[in-house]
Amino acid sequence: MKVSTAIHNRRSIKAFDASHVISDAEVTQLFSLAKLAPTAFNIQNWRFVLLRDPALRQQVRAAAFDQAQVTDASLLVVLTADLKAWEKTPQRYWRDAVQPVQDAMLPMLDGYYRGREQVQRDEAMRSCGIAAQTLMLAAQEMGYDSCPMDGFDFDAVGKLINLPADHVIAMFVAIGKATQPAYPRSGPLALEEIVLTDRFCQSSRGNT
């Protein structure tokens, strides 16, 4: 499947075949592709939590306003990120690089993140967003449908998955076989409204 076809075909699916099972080999394939998503300084700060326990998924569904895709999708992924990945044995992120690159990158990595908690969180969200789209497009190529989700109680889900204190949840991605098509696209904006050249016009400041 062409990348452009996967982008066009990917839709946020709400109704999944609860009986369909994604094989372990397919799961491995999905995450082998997802982990190729870029991260700043190659810190690979995403942590993918696969919810497989049916009882746990029922509890998570209760914390997600009873959305059916939480339990009915073949695979429910909680995308989380380690906020402190940048300082946890960082040399491993560049272990295969030549020594001059390692010597340059490791001090830069520390200087960029240390003491900058908001930057650490922003980076976590950027990394998870890129990984989520990579995961959904990979699933589309494999014949699966998906749904990105942020409609849930983040604190409650964090407790249910024993989220470490130095981690954050970004979103869910539900993956499986659709039983109903998505609604037609409901109102894409024109390119002229969303694509700008060089800078915003003076008159557009403060407007949406």
**What three-state secondary structure class fits 173?**
strand
- What's the pLDDT score for residue 165? 98
Burial grade of 51 (CB within 10 A; 0-12, 13-18, 19 or more): buried
Domains and CATH numbers, the chain: 3-183 (3.40.109.10)
Residue 179's contacts (CB-CB under 8 Å, 6 or more residues apart) are 15, 16, 17
Question: What's the CA dihedral at 37, 40, 44, 47 to 10 degrees?
Answer: -90
Per the structure block, which two tokens stand in for 143?
């014949």
- What's the pLDDT score for residue 19? 98
- What's the pLDDT score for residue 207? 58
Task: Tell me the whole-structure pTM to 2 decimals.
Answer: 0.93
Q: Please give the chain's pLDDT, 208 residues, in tens.
A: 999 999 999 999 999 999 999 999 999 999 999 999 999 999 999 999 999 999 999 999 999 999 999 999 999 999 999 999 999 999 999 999 999 999 999 999 999 999 999 999 999 999 999 999 999 999 999 999 999 999 999 999 999 999 999 999 999 999 999 999 998 888 899 999 999 999 998 765 555 5
Count of positions (residues) in the chain:
208
- What's the pLDDT score for residue 208? 52
- What's the pLDDT score for residue 204? 57
Report the Cα 118 to chain-centroid distance in Å: 19
Place of tokens 């397919």: 26
